[in-house]
Structure 1
Amino acid sequence: MLWTTIELRIEPDIERIGEGALAIQVQIKERDEDLDAEYRLWRGSLFGPVTSDLMKQAATQLDPGLALSLLTELRSANIAACPRFEVWLHPVVYRLEVNSGFNTAQYSWQEELPEQWHQLGSVVALLKRIAEEARNDA
């Protein structure tokens, strides 16, 4: 059995500071050909939650097809280890962390995903879509 955790945190720019930060965490359990997945959504203070805050949130089942899409995109991504950095004044900050078994990858960027990481764009978009749909259902 293999556990994979994918977490996206979005911290707003100074103009939207009142909206607070958003975090979504997806946990996927793989057993042979079977996938079981759930997610937690958190919205709150400017700098986002710590993991214990996320774990206090109720888990919601995630469609196995969406979980498979996330895993497929992440496992097939071929990205630069250190892309060019752009400085933004009062930016929206994004943080993506993936843990799978003993492997961990962390990415953070401001405003726009670096071109060298464009393959992560579909993962970020899917996570944002899941979060938006969950917020609309609430």
Structure 2
Amino acid sequence: MARVLLGAAGLYFILAAALALHMGLIADYRLGLVYAHIGGLGFLALGLVGALYLARPDLAAGFFAWAHFWLHMIGLPVLLIGLTMTQLDAFMTGHTIALIGMALVLLSALALTINLWSRAGTDRRALTGNHP
């Protein structure tokens, strides 16, 4: 899962850079809010969790890890589509879509928090007796 999260983070980084270039070339910065969410929730959040799971592969297993993964991977594009629509003159429809995406991303954050809270403090070596 770590590799998929890091790969997705890289794709969101490319998307953010491409959107920034596009906005600069046409001198229209209405999608700045979308750009910020691509960078924050796409590149940074997914990259951080991917790095965490790379360092601690045991955290990437279980229901809450998978719930976080799928809720975030579905919720973020829905959120970005909705935010884009709100900025391009389809506010009410975009707002509704963005709210659905935000709810999914919030649920993903909750799943991640439960996963980390319940598992990050456990040292697998201490539990198995394989420690120096």
TM bucket (normalised to shorter chain) is 0.3 to 0.5
More strand by share: 1
Specify the structure having the higher radius of gyration (Cα). 2
Q: Larger % of helix: which? A: 2
TM-score by length of 1: 0.33
**TM-score scaled by structure 2?**
0.34
